[in-house]
């Protein structure tokens, strides 16, 4: 049995400012760090065989916090980075909506129609992300693998396993920061065990 734990990075400064990040980056907030530590505690009994992370520092730092004292090297993988957004990156959602209203509408309301020159589509993200996911499934027959990535990447991966069209990409659940999705492959058959789970955050806040 193979378990793929797919996690979104912790909250960042740009998340709080509603700025689109894409391939650019911003630091984890204090809450982002605390939430990643809460997820570390939540997954402390899981014996991970390997850890993969997007090369973006927000994802890599989240992976380091979840890893904790485990003696594992974090493998950076470009295939699981966030969608590239070109000149949208670093701008607020309000700024983007004003400068490019049609594309912005497609991004959130009709993702299957989103197509801007010289930047990635959701199909592009899904194809590259699945290269890594499928390789892991083919090469690893059993074990636990942690994958720390981004919201769009998570949604495209999970949509594939749901056999869902990209038109429905943004249907619930919402992928919150440090949420966990778990795909289990048993007898070559994948199943979704968790999708956007945030129970570790509830546990952490109950202790305050």
Annotated binding site: 8-15, 58
The full 3-state SS of 141-176, as one line of letters, equals CCEEEEEEECHHHHHHHHHHHCCCCHHHCCCCCCCC
Given a contact cutoff of 8 angstroms between Cβ atoms, the answer to whether 89 and 141 are in contact is: no
What is the dihedral sign for C-alpha 192, 133, 152, 15?
Answer: positive
Question: Which of 40, 42, 82, 150 is labelled catalytic?
Answer: 82
Rg (CA), the chain: 17
Establish whether the linkage from the previous residue to 10 is cis, with ω within 30° of 0: no
Distances (CA, A) of 6 to 51, 99, 149, 180: 10, 33, 7, 6
Residues forming the annotated binding site for substrate?
8-15, 58
- Distance, in Å, from the CA atom of 39 to the CA atom of 116, rounded to the nearest integer, reads 36
- Distance, in Å, from the CA atom of 167 to the CA atom of 203, rounded to the nearest integer, reads 34
Question: Which of 9, 42, 160, 200 is labelled catalytic?
Answer: 9
Q: Is 9 a catalytic residue?
A: yes
Residue 144 structure tokens: 């636990």
* Pair type for strands 143-149 and 74-76: unpaired
Place of tokens 């720390």: 148
Residues noted as catalytic: 9, 82
């Amino acid at each position: 049995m193979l378990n793929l734990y797919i996690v979104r990075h912790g909250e960042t400064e740009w998340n709080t400012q509603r700025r689109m990040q894409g391939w650019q980056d911003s630091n984890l907030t204090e809450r982002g760090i605390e939430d990643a530590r809460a997820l570390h505690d939540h997954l402390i009994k899981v014996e991970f065989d390997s850890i993969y992370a997007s090369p973006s520092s927000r994802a890599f730092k989240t992976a380091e916090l979840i890893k904790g004292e485990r003696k594992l090297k974090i493998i950076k993988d470009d295939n699981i980075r966030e969608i590239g957004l070109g000149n949208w990156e670093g701008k607020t959602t309000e700024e983007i909506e004003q400068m490019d209203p049609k594309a912005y509408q497609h991004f959130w309301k009709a993702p299957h129609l989103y197509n801007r020159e010289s930047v990635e589509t959701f199909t592009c993200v899904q194809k590259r992300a699945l290269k890594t996911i499928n390789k892991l499934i083919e090469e690893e027959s059993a074990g636990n693998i942690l994958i720390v990535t981004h919201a769009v990447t998570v949604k495209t991966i999970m949509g594939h396993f749901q056999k869902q069209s990209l038109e429905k990409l943004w249907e619930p659940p919402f992928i919150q920061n440090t949420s966990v999705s778990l795909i289990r492959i048993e007898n070559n058959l994948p199943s979704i065990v968790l999708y956007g789970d945030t129970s570790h955050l509830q546990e952490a806040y109950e202790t305050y």
